[in-house]
Amino acid sequence: MKLKDIGEHEFIKRYIKNYVDIKLLDDVFIHEKRGYKVDGFKLSYTFPFMSLYDIGWKAISASTSDIIAKGVKPEFYLISLGLPPDFDVNKAEELIKGISDAIHYYGGRYIGGDLNDSDSSGWVDVFVEGEVLCDISNKDIDDGDLLVVGDYIGYTTNVFISYINNFNIQILPESLLKVKHPIVRKSLLFFMKKYCKFIKYSTDISDGLMVSLYKIIDNFDLGINITEIPIDKNVFNTLKLRLNLTELDILKYAGEEFLPLLIIDKNSPVKEMLNELQYLAFNPLIIGQVIHEKKAVIYKNTFIKNTGWDNFIGWY
């Protein structure tokens, strides 16, 4: 059996969990008011319209999205690069400039890392550490607690689906920008610090909404009833018109949204919190609530399977 036969997520559950020294695997490790995150990808994970500067920026935004969504203020970044020996020096510097600019945009410090040779297209790994401003660990999640996503999704899906259709599908300008130069809203940290006592769990949805929802289900042994799939109307209409895709079809090709997904107390000042997020440039949506009797995602009384991006399988 090979990794491509079971996929990244299943390999983590079946094997990696047997060896790590903690019970709960999450995107960010929290310990004594510090948060730690590592993330990375191959340099070939790109599109023709992206420069190496864009790739460097995106690598930092991806790891920063995870750590900010956990209520951690990013402070220190270590970067490990693998580049082939014949890689152009000026292009390598362009990649590093994108990395450096993004780190400083998010208020962190680029303190070093590692440089290796690579026999492939190359890769970039990002380690980030920071201060916990809102500790959401060890909170009980109850029936009726609300799921809130930071904004509409689907923009990156627009690009991914166009890519697998030889770019014959229209890419909306906002979709292009979100893939080329994603920006994580640092203002979420202000919100999480202010309303920390009402936030029971948080993550980002970089691997796709369904992947993130099923991580919650696996970690906390609960179910989720979805009342709204927050796909942007323009994206949905574009893909439905050309390919006759449904909402669930679009979710399959999701990923790299870099948006927060929060579980908030059902007894919290919900309207006030949503208004605060709007003030901080989010467009928050309540997409469902927690249920405990069924350990799955349910939408319109139908069980929805886990679907999204896997590094060994691709979109599944």
CATH number of the domain that 50 lies in?
A: 3.30.1330.10
199-209 per-position pLDDT tens digit: 999 999 988 89
If we measure between CA atoms, which residue out of 257, 253, 45 comes closest to residue 157? Answer: 253
The domain boundary, picked from 130, 159, 175, lies at 130
Is the pLDDT at 216 greater than 90? The verdict is: yes
- Specify the range with the lowest mean pLDDT, choosing from 72-76, 82-86, 166-170: 166-170
Q: Which residues contact 236 (CB under 8 A, 6 or more apart)?
A: 154, 247, 250
Residue ending a domain, among 130, 151, 172, is 130
Q: Over the chain, what HEC string results? A: CCHHHHCHHHHHHHCHHHCCCCCCCCCCEEECCEEEEEEEEECCCCCCCCCHHHHHHHHHHHHHHHHHHCCEEEEEEEEEEEECCCCCHHHHHHHHHHHHHHHHHCCCEEEEEEEEECCCCCEEEEEEEEEECCCCCCCCCCCCCEEEECCCECHHHHHHHHHHCCCCCCCCHHHHHHHHCCCCCCCHHHHHHHCHHHEEEEEECCCCHHHHHHHHHHHHCCEEEECCCCECHHHHHHHHHHHCCCHHHHHHCCCCCCCEEEEECCCCCHHHHHHHHHHCCCCCEEEEEEECCCCCEEECCEEECCCCEECCCEEC
Task: Please give the Cα distance from 30 to 70 (Å, whole number).
Answer: 9
Strands 309-310 vs 123-132: parallel, antiparallel or unpaired:
unpaired
Same domain, 309 and 168: yes
147 in the same domain as 126? no
Domain-embedded: residue 104: yes
73 belongs to a structural domain: yes
Domain identity same for 249 and 307? yes
- Rounded to whole angstroms, the Cα distance separating 260 from 53 reads 25
Q: Are residues 209 and 284 in the same domain?
A: yes
Kindly state whether residues 156 and 292 are assigned to the same domain.
yes
Token digits for 223?
């179910």
Tokens 């402070």 label which residue? 75
Q: Are residues 171 and 76 in the same domain?
A: no
Regarding whether 275 and 168 lie in a shared domain, the answer is yes
Under 8 Å between Cβ of 172 and 234: yes
What percent of the chain is modeled with pLDDT above 90? 80
Average pLDDT, the chain: 94
Give the best-scoring range by mean pLDDT among 44-48, 117-121, 123-127, 303-307: 123-127
**Residue 6 forms part of a structural domain:** no
pLDDT for residue 118: 92
Domain check: are 114 and 222 in the same one? no
Residues 113 and 254 in one domain: no
Q: What is the pTM of this model?
A: 0.94
Say yes or no: 160 and 306 in one domain: yes
Q: What angle do CA 13, 19, 21 make, to 5 degrees?
A: 105
Tens digit of pLDDT for each residue in 220-267? 999 999 999 999 999 999 998 888 888 888 888 988 999 999 999 999
- The CATH number given to whatever domain includes residue 281 is 3.90.650.10
Q: Name the most confidently modeled range: 6-15, 117-126, 184-193, 287-296.
A: 184-193
Question: Is the residue at 11 inside a domain?
Answer: no
Measure the CA–CA gap between 178 and 184, rounded to whole angstroms: 10
Structure tokens at 265: 């107390």
What is the pLDDT, as a whole number, of residue 144? 97
pLDDT 10s digits, 145-164:
999 999 999 999 999 999 99
- Does residue 289 share a domain with residue 183? yes
Distance CA 235, CA 8 (A): 28
Question: What is the structure's pLDDT at 22?
Answer: 85
User: 158, 155, 213: which is closest to 182 by C-alpha?
Assistant: 155
Count: domains in the chain: 2
In a domain, 4, yes or no: no
16 domain residue, yes or no:
no
Give the structural domain span for 245: 143-313
Write the CB contacts of 153 (distance below 8 Å, at least 6 apart in sequence). 205, 209, 230, 231, 232, 254, 257, 259
In a domain, 8, yes or no: no
Residues 39 and 157 in one domain: no
For 252, the token pair is 């399959």
Residue ending a domain, choose from 107, 130, 153: 130
Return the CA Rg of the chain. 19
In 3D space, the residue among 125, 82, 126 whose CA is nearest the CA of residue 106 turns out to be 126
The whole-angstrom separation of Cα 299 and Cα 220 is 19
In a domain, 159, yes or no: yes
